[in-house]
A and B are shown apart, each in its own frame.
Chain A
Amino acid sequence: MILLIILGMALVTALPRVMPAMIVDKLIFPVWVNRWLEAIPYAALGALIFPAILSVKEGEPHVGLIGGLVALFLALFRLNIIIVVIGAILTVYLLSL
C-alpha cells in the first residue's frame, strides 16, 4: 500500500516537472510572456523566502528573521554564497544557545 502511495506521489510530482520540457518546443510565446517567464525565478525566490523563513524555528519567528537579515547583510557585501549560508547557520545556532 505504501509503495502505491509512493508511486502516486511520484507521478503527480513528475508530471508538472517534465510537461514543460516536452511542450516548450511547440509553443511560441509573445514577447510579454517571455518576459513573464524571465521574471519567474525572482518571483519564485521571493515567494520561497517569505514568509516561510519565519518558521525556521517553530514559535520563534525572530530567529529566522535575524538569520535572514544576516544572510542579506553578507550577500550585500558580495561575499561568496557559501559564506552567506554558513553565516546564517552560525547566527541561528548562536540564537538558539
Chain B
Amino acid sequence: MQGYETSEHHMSAMAMVRHGLKCGIPIILGYLPVAITFGVLAQQAGLSLLELTLMSVFVYAGASQFMGVNMIAASVHSIEIIVATFVLNFRHFVMSLSFMNEARHYYGLPARFGLSLLLTDEAFAVSAIHKDEMKKRHSVYFYTTIFLSAYLSWIIGSLLGGVVGEIMPERLSQSMGIALYAMFIGLLIPSVKKNIKVGYIALIAMLINLIASQFMSEGWAIVVGTVLGGLTGVHFLKERP
C-alpha cells in the first residue's frame, strides 16, 4: 500500500497548505462564532480568561466545553463533569479509528499522533471526504493545515469572546449556527452523487441516531448511529475494491 502517485499529482508542500486552507475555510467560518459564544458564556459562568483559553487549548471539543462550563456554573461534582465529557466525546474514538485505518498506510506514528490529538467532528469529516489526497506527496501538509486552522480558529475565537465579549450581532451569530451542518451536507452530497449507497448509509445512521436519542444521551446516540450506520457499509460498499 505504500507509495505515492508521482506523475500527474505533483503538488508542492506549499500548494498542499493552500489546498488544505481552502478546505478548512468552512470549518473556520463555523468555529469562530461558536468559539466567541463559548468565550462569552465561559466568562459569565465564572471562568477566568486564562481558564477558558486553557480549556479550548487542552480540551478542544465544542459541545463538551459548553456543557462543562454550564456544569461548573451549576457546581456539579467534577467527576460527573469528566464522565459526561468522556461520553460526549467518545464518538471521536470511532472517527479516529476510521481515519487512522487509512492513515497507517501513509504516515508514521508522530504524524498520526498529532492529527488524531486534534481530531474533531469537522476536521475528521473534511479529511475523510478528501482521503484520496493521502496518496499524494506532501499530503501531510494538507491534513495538518486543515487540523491546525480549525484548532487555531477555536482558540482565537474563544479568547476573543472572553476578551471583548459578544462582538457579533446576535442574529448573525445565531444564523451562523447552521454553518457546520451546511458544511456536513456539502461534504456528503458529492459522495452520494458518486455512489448512492453512501447516501443510504448516512440516512440509516440519521434514523438510528434519532431513535437512539430517545433512550440515551446525545453522546451515546451519535456513537450508536455512527457505528451501526457504518455497519451497513459492510453490505453497501461490497463491490468496491
- A47-B209, A85-B182 known; 18 new pairs, CB 8 Å cut-off, are A3-B51, A6-B54, A6-B55, A21-B96, A25-B104, A35-B233, A38-B98, A39-B229, A43-B232, A44-B91, A44-B124, A44-B128, A47-B206, A52-B181, A68-B178, A68-B182, A75-B190, A96-B171
Interface presence of B151 (CB below 8 A):
no
Main secondary structure of the interface of A (DSSP, over half): helix
By secondary structure, the B interface counts as helix
Question: Chain A residues with Cβ under 8 A from B97's Cβ?
Answer: 20, 24, 37, 40
Contact between chains at B225 and A5 (CB < 8 Å)? no
Pairwise interchain contact B183-A85, C-beta atoms closer than 8 A = yes
Interface residues of A, Cβ cutoff 8 Å to B: 1-14, 16-22, 24-25, 29, 32, 34-53, 56-57, 64, 67-68, 71-72, 74-76, 78, 81-82, 84-85, 87-93, 96-97
- Chain A nearest CB, measured from B178 CB (Å): 4
Interface size on B, residues (CB 8 A): 100
**Chain B min CB distance to A79 (Å):** 8
The residue in B93, B109, B118, B185 that gathers the most chain A C-beta atoms within 10 A of its C-beta is B185
Q: State the B residues within 8 Å of A (CB).
A: 25-26, 29-30, 47, 51, 54-55, 58-61, 64-65, 68, 72, 78, 81-83, 85-86, 89-101, 103-104, 109, 112-113, 115-119, 121, 124-125, 128-129, 131, 171-172, 174-179, 181-191, 193, 198-199, 201-206, 208-210, 213, 218, 221-222, 225-234, 236-238, 240
